[in-house]
Amino acid sequence: MAADELSTVDALAQLSFLVHNTLERRAAEQELSMIQTRLLGVLRDREPTMNELAALLELDKSSITGLVDRAQRRGLVERHPSPTDRRAVLVRLTATGRELVTVAAARFAGDVTALLAGLSATDRAALTRVLSRVLVSHAAEQGIDLFPTA
Amino acid sequence: MAADELSTVDALAQLSFLVHNTLERRAAEQELSMIQTRLLGVLRDREPTMNELAALLELDKSSITGLVDRAQRRGLVERHPSPTDRRAVLVRLTATGRELVTVAAARFAGDVTALLAGLSATDRAALTRVLSRVLVSHAAEQGIDLFPTA
DNA sequence: TATTGTTATACTCTATAACTATA
DNA sequence: TATAGTTATAGAGTATAACAATA
């Protein structure tokens, strides 16, 4: 029992690092660090202020200044004045930035799909079901509903 | 089918980041960065040279110098001359370093165990079986046998 | 007064290139 | 000559504290 439990923990940990390294590698192909990739990732469906970006990425606002500086210097994002608050700055993905993160994300998704390619349909379904259960109950413990009905 | 496949990929990716962040948080409790944690981790059952450390952590040897410098300054590792090669330096965990990495690893294992606590014995067994299958076949593709019989 | 963002500063982490000592 | 390790240097990434502009 204890041995079984340990090996589940171990398998999950190993697979997590494998998946993480896979993304890191695909991001590096686009000369993106993990944090730059996360920056572009959150900008795919948002146009946040520097402050909101700090909250989304869980970094200090002074760190966001440098992060956005470097991405902007590469032409991946743009700063725009907020129309409603003259103190605030809105950050937006450029076409180049969107292209880079889209390519990295697609290749990463392909890698994970390939990783699961050897599984039978039954095993894959079982994996999805169990992982979803873990994620939903973890989210619930954090007070988050992953599938809001409203 | 495509929707199912995507959601398996998504679930695996989400869970990977969750597990990774969990380790990062536990390491940070001991004031350890991820790379310092990996350094102490590989030293738990090895006493490698600087060069071997560079290979194990996939970093340049000049990066290892700084990494070990900082860990040594905190009293987490020690440098010792190699008895067989006067150019080489062996790196060894101190008791303090071992304590720190042991605590972080134990808490992390507890976190992952807790994450899986809501699963039935059946589900947990299914998860272990499927994840192991993925890991073994991935390792095989890399030419690695996870369970050498010799 | 409070908030938004930047700047100044300091530290970790990483790589490249040049170097020293030893093999 | 080749290898092991360090140093010098440069740049990304991060936080804290102080600041200017705006609310």
Chain D positions with a protein C-beta closer than 7 Å: 3-8, 12-18, 21-23
Query: Residue B146 has which token pair?
Result: 């996870």
- Contact across the interface for B132 and A4, Cβ inside 8 Å: no
- Break chain A into its structural domains and give their ranges: 8-138
| Whole-number Å distance between alpha carbons of A96 and A67 | 17
The domain A8-138 is placed in CATH, from the list 1.10.3720.10, 1.10.10.10, 3.60.20.10, 3.30.70.890, at 1.10.10.10
- Contact across the interface for A16 and B20, Cβ inside 8 Å: yes
Tens of each residue's pLDDT in chain B, 150 residues: 455 556 888 999 999 999 999 999 999 999 999 999 999 999 999 999 999 999 999 999 999 999 999 999 999 999 999 999 999 999 999 999 999 999 999 999 999 999 999 999 999 999 999 999 999 999 998 887 777 665
B25/A contact by beta carbon, under 8 A: no
Which of the 8 DSSP states describes residue A83?
A: S
Q: CA of B33: how far to CAs of A6, A50, B17, B41, in Å? A: 24, 25, 16, 12
CA→C1' distance for A84 and C14 (Å): 41
The dihedral region occupied by B82, where left means phi > 0, alpha psi between -120 and 50, and beta the remainder, is: beta
